[in-house]
Structure 1
Amino acid sequence: MKQKIFVYGTLRKGMYNYDLYLKDEDSFRQYGYIKGSLMTIRGKAYPAYITEGQDMILGEIHEVSEKTLKLIDEMEGYFGKGNPNNEYNKEICDIYDENNQIIDQAYVYVFNMDNRRNVSALENDIESHDYVKYIQEIKRNEKTYSIDE
């Protein structure tokens, strides 16, 4: 049986975990938004989604097999409902369109704010509310230009 997940970070199309977990499954269904906040995590190359806040976070709805979902659970540090060691909790959330209308519900990996290590690792708000765009901006800013003058 297929399960719907909403991805907002490294599992999005074009990102490295998409290629590892979703590319071969033809899982993409549509774009959407979740409400909350998207933040950077100190020392990590992936974002934290927290439910506090009203920002519209861009992401994608995918439909995946149980096998793929278990692999993603492992990658996301999800050990089971209510486990205090979870890096992310897996929760059913409303998914919105650009007009703020609910279009679906899906599993979302929510940063576990009950884990003290997680809370202390949060850094900055991703102001674009779009992790792919955020990474593209970083890459543009990291380009070095030689001065020929």
Structure 2
Amino acid sequence: MCKYLFVYGSLMEGFFNYDSYLKGKILERKIARTRGKLYHLVDKGYPAMINGEDYVYGELILIKDFYKVLKQLDRLENFFGNNNNNNEYNRVVKNVEVLDDNTIRKAYVYMYNCKDIKRLTDKNIYIPYGNWKKYIKNINKNAV
């Protein structure tokens, strides 16, 4: 059974949802990556990963009270169950590579439930280097 979660957006340490949902609950954190394609959702202010061959960078985390926290995260990510068309994000299991030792671990990942790829790509910002944290830091640096 999968006990890891890969986060690549607002649930990473230092971002707004980390404090509300994960602070004080992390048993292990590793910098990691997985395959996908990353966008910044302009109208929402957070990222969306869809299937793709790019690398998407984030954190692989092990959480205390994993399934209790996962239920809270499901609500945050608007995940209502497998194969539910109302999901904003689908929770799937993916292979995730830990960067410090190159091991592969299975982890839950919230993937964007893209119903209209043209709208996603036309109205949002593609992040070709797959790192939302770096993207946000660059935006904030350029805003000053």
Q: TM-score, normalised by structure 2?
A: 0.87
Q: What is the root-mean-square deviation in Å for CA atoms of aligned residues? A: 2.3
Alignment of 1:1-20 (within 5 A): 3-20=3-20
Task: Note the alpha carbon deviations across 1:10-49, whole angstroms, 9 max, x for none.
Answer: 1011111111111111244311101111101130111000
Farther-moved stretch of structure 1 (58-67 vs 85-94): 58-67
Q: Is the 8 A contact 2:60 2:98 kept in 1?
A: no
1:63 aligns with 2:62: yes
Return the letter of the residue paired with 2:133: V
**1:21 is matched with which residue?**
21
SS at match of 2:81: coil
Q: Is there any run of 5+ residues in structure 2 with no aligned partner, and where?
A: none
Return the letter of the residue paired with 1:17: N
Partners of 2:26 and 2:36 lie apart in 1 by: 27
Paired residues, number: 140
* Identity in percent: 35
Partners of 1:108 and 1:26 lie apart in 2 by: 16
Runs of 4+ in 1 over 4 A off after TM superposition: none
SS at match of 2:18: helix
SS at match of 2:24: helix
Q: Is the 8 A contact 2:50 2:112 kept in 1?
A: yes
1:92 aligns with 2:77: no
Q: Is there any run of 5+ residues in structure 1 with no aligned partner, and where?
A: 144-149
Structure number with greater Rg is 1
Q: 1:23 to 1:47 in 2, by over 3 A?
A: same
1:82 aligns with 2:83: yes
Task: Note the alpha carbon deviations across 1:61-117, whole angstroms, 9 max, x for none.
Answer: 112321111111000010000000000000000002449x5510100000012x34x
Q: 1:83 to 1:96 in 2, by over 3 A?
A: same
